[in-house]
A and B are shown apart, each in its own frame.
Chain A
Amino acid sequence: MKYLSLVLFLLTLVKTPLLADQNPWGIIERCQKASQNLNYKGIYISQNGQELKSVEITHALYGSEQFTRINLLDGNADEVLSQGKNVVIYHKHDDNVVIQKREQQHLFPAIFRGEIAEIKKYYLLSFGISERVAGRMTQRVNLIPKDSFRYAYNLWLDQETSLPLKMIISNIDKEILEQSAFNKIQFNTEKNLEWFTPTLDSSKKYLIDDSITKEINLNRFWVATNIPPGFKEVNFMVSKMSDMNLVRNHSVYSDGLSYISLFVQPVRKGQKPKVGDLSFNSTNVSARYFKGYQIMAVGSVPIKAVRSLIDSVVF
């Protein structure tokens, strides 16, 4: 047993190509570039709380543009086609397919958004042991939060390409909140873009859902005076609430890894405003009722972060 422990300890000291870099954060920069520039196809499993789903993803860089196709392998056979910043989702139902446009998102394995320099300010970087994931050797990299406003991100980066093959989000007690892991992946399998088409079914009706794009150009009447450290607003939307001639304000804040949504909207007639905190799976929600408005913050962040955000809204 003693010898085994010694061997394991010595193995952790072996420099892998990923660790040879003088700049330890270089590994995260390469990880970000890998998710943008590599051509790959694989299947990964995603877990959030009790929910487990399989996803097939195909990604390619063609010219200077990224093309991604995502197929959900469990439940509804929904598809996502993404070209650059344009995302189209095909929601498949029994009788029809609803086509919906969205904005580009940071889906696994492309989880890093924006500048790595911002993430450095609020996370510590540490290295773990090498492990095998989806048949490939990986280097474990941990991003430990420097404060209590965000969770830890543990990544298993492919040693050859730096692509994240596994990700675990955990809280301060090291409880797993969310995880995604490839069980099969291949690189440079697609030589053209023939795969970048939706699976069409001529027996179904195809409908366009443009309801989420009805954004209204209105100035905001409120301000959040105490945003959690490291978070900054990355998106702001004003949209009409259904069945009412009123609008909802939706701000999205991010520190480069974690996200918080802040909603400010009137309370619907006949409904009671909500207050207090709620946790389910990896998501925390905090609600407040102020001057006739429902203020709610939602995010995969500690309750302290969502609560401090809604408490700071004034108007």
Chain B
Amino acid sequence: MDAIDEEPTQMRGYSPAKELAVNLNSYNWQLILGFAVLFAIVFAGLNTQNKNTVTPVQLVYEEMPTDIMNAHFANTSSTANYFVQTTFTDN
């Protein structure tokens, strides 16, 4: 009885392995999701202009975006040649 009294008092049941595994998985997913969001933000930022530093230029015929004109004629033209002879360069 004296030996039992000398043993430390246990506060609750012992089941460390299962709970720890569950906690680690949850933490990993949060970490992965966080990195994915950060990556997406950086990627989007690299593909767009910094709106505070870009100076627009006057629209001229030689620099008309071909993809925009193709998309317009493909969806609105009433003349067959304009409707047909456009090829999308986007996508």
Q: B71, A211: Cβ atoms under 8 Å?
A: no
Residues of B within 8 A of A174 (CB): none
B-contact 0/1 string along A172-202, CB 8 Å cutoff = 0000001010000000000000000000000
Smallest Cβ-Cβ distance to B48: which chain A residue: A266
Task: List A residues 199-215 near B (Cβ within 8 Å).
Answer: 209, 211-212, 214
Q: B47, A291: Cβ atoms under 8 Å?
A: no
Q: A296, B68: Cβ atoms under 8 Å?
A: yes
Which stretch in A141-149, A217-225, A240-248 binds the other chain?
A240-248
For the complex, what is the distance from the CA of A180 to the CA of B78, rounded to whole Å? Answer: 9
Smallest Cβ distance from B9 to chain A, in angstroms? 59
Residues of B within 8 A of A245 (CB): 43-44, 47
Q: A250, B64: Cβ atoms under 8 Å?
A: no
- A108 contacts chain B at the CB level, 8 A cutoff: yes
For the complex, what is the distance from the CA of A75 to the CA of B86, rounded to whole Å? Answer: 13
Q: A274, B56: Cβ atoms under 8 Å?
A: yes
Q: A72, B84: Cβ atoms under 8 Å?
A: yes
Contacts A103-B75, A291-B51 given; does A78 touch B58 at CB 8 Å:
no
Q: A280, B61: Cβ atoms under 8 Å?
A: yes
Contacts A72-B85, A269-B49 given; does A105 touch B77 at CB 8 Å:
yes
Q: B47, A269: Cβ atoms under 8 Å?
A: yes
Of the candidates B61, B69, B80, B88, the one whose C-beta lies within 8 Å of that of A72 is B80
Of the candidates A80, A212, A300, the one whose C-beta lies within 8 Å of that of B80 is A80
Interface residues of B (CB under 8 A from A): 43-44, 46-49, 51, 54-61, 63-65, 67-69, 71-72, 74-85, 87-91
Give me the 7 closest cross-chain CB pairs, A-B, nearest first.
A259-B76, A211-B91, A292-B51, A53-B81, A274-B59, A261-B72, A242-B90
Can you list 24 pairs linking A and B with CB atoms under 8 Å apart?
A55-B81, A72-B80, A72-B84, A72-B85, A102-B74, A108-B79, A178-B78, A180-B78, A209-B87, A211-B88, A211-B90, A241-B67, A242-B90, A245-B43, A252-B76, A259-B75, A272-B57, A273-B49, A274-B58, A275-B56, A276-B59, A277-B59, A280-B61, A285-B59
